[in-house]
């Protein structure tokens, strides 16, 4: 049976950056494109980072029983929903998968596919450094949303509390201070963790 390598971490911990590089190093890993109702960001493409859909489209998947997990964020720009949709993308008999998500979605995926199928990859960065990276990234956007950036920073402290991490059995950390070193550790976990 295949595994789902589940990358998690607070905002601006480097999930997207590391995800892209792990995928490049291990092209045999398949990915799952999530669905979101949040507006598309500068440089993003529909169907690549996410399927950018309306509330109506996501509601329709829900009515058809195809939503594996869904989370919503009340942002200063309104409610942003993110969902994993069982649209035929995941076939554990055939492949291993590399996925980015939250602690909550990790828990739901674990319930849905079974704990032995999920491997958590928890990425951590010192808070001050992480905030500096978040600000730098936001500044480069055409319409920076600083209030939303701050809201996420604060919300993450609660969501990724030590208590929650412990409850879900996530002890191991992948520190993203130096990207190359972090990348090497993640790739090692995926390549040799199974042996
Ligand atoms: N090791 C690193 N050293 C310096 N900068 C980094 C490092 N890793 C990532 N970054 C930068 O930090 C910023 C945040 O990274 P990224 O967007 O990958 O985070 P994320 O966890 O996916 O964030 P979010 O959940 O908010 O989308 C980006 O501008 C990225 O280029």
The total of other beta-carbon atoms located within 10 Å of residue 97's CB is: 22
Cβ 36 under 6 angstroms from ligand 1: no
Compute CA distances 169 → 81, 107, 109, 175, whole Å. 26, 10, 14, 18
Q: 93 alpha carbon to ligand 1 midpoint, in Å?
A: 32
Which pLDDT does position 2 carry in this prediction?
Answer: 94
Neighbours of 23 (CB within 10 A): 14
Would residue 88 be called left, alpha or beta, if left means φ above 0 and alpha means ψ between -120 and 50 degrees? Answer: left
Q: What DSSP state is assigned to residue 173?
A: -
DSSP 84: E
Question: How many Å from the N-terminal Cα to the C-terminal Cα in the chain?
Answer: 14
pTM: 0.86
Atom of ligand 1 nearest to the CA of 19: 18
Going from the Cα of 179 to the center of ligand 1, the distance in angstroms, rounded, reads 10
* C-alpha 11 to ligand 1 mean position (Å): 8
pLDDT, residue 195, reads 55
Which atom of ligand 1 is nearest the CA belonging to 130?
12
Please give the domain boundaries of the chain with CATH numbers for all domains. Answer: 4-183 (3.40.50.300)
What pLDDT does 49 receive?
Answer: 87
pLDDT of residue 38: 96
Per-residue pLDDT of the chain (195 residues; tens, 9 = 90+): 899 999 999 999 999 999 999 999 999 999 999 999 999 999 999 999 899 999 999 999 999 989 999 989 899 999 999 999 989 999 999 999 999 988 989 999 999 899 999 999 999 999 999 999 999 999 999 999 999 999 999 999 999 999 999 999 999 999 999 999 999 999 999 998 865
| Helix or strand run (H / E) with residue 166 | helix 162-167
Query: Which of ligand 1's atoms lies nearest the C-alpha of 152?
Result: 26
């Amino acid at each position: 049976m295949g595994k789902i390598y589940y990358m998690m971490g607070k905002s601006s911990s480097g999930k997207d950056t590391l995800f892209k590089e792990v995928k490049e190093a291990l092209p045999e890993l398949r990915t799952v494109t999530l669905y979101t109702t949040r507006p598309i960001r500068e440089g993003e493409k529909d169907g690549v980072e996410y399927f950018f859909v309306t509330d109506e489209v996501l509601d329709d998947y829900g009515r058809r029983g195809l939503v594996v997990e869904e989370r919503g964020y009340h942002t200063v720009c309104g409610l942003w929903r993110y969902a994993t949709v069982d649209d035929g993308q995941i076939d554990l008999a055939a492949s291993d998968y590399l996925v980015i998500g939250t602690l909550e979605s990790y828990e739901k995926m674990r319930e849905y596919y079974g704990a032995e199928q999920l491997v958590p990859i928890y990425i951590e960065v010192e808070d001050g450094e992480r905030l500096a990276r978040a600000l730098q990234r936001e500044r480069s956007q055409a319409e920076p949303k600083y209030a939303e950036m701050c809201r996420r920073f604060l919300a993450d402290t609660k969501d990724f509390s030590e208590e929650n991490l412990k409850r879900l059995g996530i002890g191991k950390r992948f520190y993203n201070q130096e990207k190359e070193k972090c990348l090497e550790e993640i790739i090692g976990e995926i390549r040799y963790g199974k042996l």
